[in-house]
Amino acid sequence: MPFPETLNAHPRVIFFTDFDGTITLQDTNDFITDQYGMGKEARRELFHAVIDETDTFRNTFQKMLDSWKMPFPQVLDILRDNITLDPHFKDFMVWARAHDVPVIVLSSGMVPVIETLLRHLLGEELMSDIDIVANGTQLRAPGNSLDKADGWTIKFLHDSGFGHDKSLTIRPYADAIAKMERNDERPTLLYAGDGVSDLSAARETDLLFAREGQDLVTYCEKAGIPFTTFSSWESILQETRDIYEGKKTVKKLAEEGLKRHRTNSIEQNGHVKPTVK
């Protein structure tokens, strides 16, 4: 259900999530770029520019897609053969259905890719529970066809530097919730992500789940944004269930997440990178 129908159903929790590298174990766009486009090293240089705020995600993503040079159906075939779902995401969706928790995918990828992979990996029935907000595709010269390498490109959802500014989808929920008079009527907004495409959403929800070892953790540390880390949807399901049942607050989970992340940093690097406040 779109806004405001989702809020009108009075859910306890609303879960927003990235798709690539969050629901899936691989990032679809990174995979095609690394294997068939400009390559991993060049892509990583582009992403560092986004984190350093010397370039926009929209510009870097367009450069990635321009390097693919293949028909769109070939892109879908490659992804169907190589992309896998987080093994616990289906369990999360089954729980969300049973407890009327809306799940909204906010992706900087393309709707046809997401729909194709969810249908293939999750199944039509559970996929129908998910609202998808993402970019589209459009034809372009000279090929003017999805079946030609030079005939298509991405159609960005917004004119901003993000291409798809995920905060613009979340913010109406947050604004409406802030106006609710009774605290017990206010749903908790959660978000899961992993990379630079999630920067616009990082500040917008009550708790951010950031995949361990990925760019989003680096950004949250740098910006002082409260977050907890996850390695799979098994922990997301457990912690979302704790919030839903009132066993833990988002503040408590954020504190535990930061402690866990710092402990892991000590074990891996021998030092702790301080969180910017």
Residue in this structure with the two tokens 């535990």, named with its chain if needed? 256
Dihedral of alpha carbons 48, 51, 55, 56, sign: positive
Structure tokens at 108: 């900087």
Q: What single DSSP character describes residue 187?
A: P
- Catalytic, 131? Answer no
Provide CB contacts within 8 A for 62, sequence distance 6+. 153, 154, 163
pLDDT in 10s for each residue of the chain, 277 residues? 778 899 999 999 999 999 999 999 999 999 999 999 999 999 999 988 988 889 999 999 999 999 999 999 999 999 999 999 999 999 999 999 999 999 999 999 999 999 999 999 999 999 999 999 999 999 999 999 999 999 999 999 999 998 999 999 999 999 999 999 888 889 999 999 987 778 778 788 998 999 988 878 888 877 778 789 999 999 999 999 999 999 999 888 888 877 777 777 666 665 444 333 2
Domains of the chain: 5-26+87-141+157-269 (3.40.50.1000)
pLDDT value for 276 = 32
Question: Which is catalytic among the residues 20, 30, 34, 86?
Answer: 20
Query: What's the farthest any 2 CA atoms get from each other in the chain?
Result: 58
Dihedral of alpha carbons 228, 232, 235, 240, sign: positive
- Dihedrals φ, ψ of 132, to 5°? -115, 125
- CA torsion angle 118 122 123 126 (round to 10): -100
- Dihedrals φ, ψ of 188, to 5°? -90, 130
Provide CB contacts within 8 A for 206, sequence distance 6+. 188, 189, 190, 250
Question: Which is catalytic among the residues 18, 34, 165, 194?
Answer: 18
Could you give the C-alpha distances from 143 to 3, 19, 48, 95, 152, in angstroms and in order?
A: 37, 29, 32, 45, 7
pLDDT value for 215 = 77
Flag whether the pTM goes above 0.85.
yes
- CA torsion angle 115 108 90 80 (round to 10): 50
pLDDT value for 274 = 39
pLDDT value for 269 = 62
Residues in the chain: 277
- Catalytic, 18? Answer yes
CB atoms within 10 A of CB 47: 19
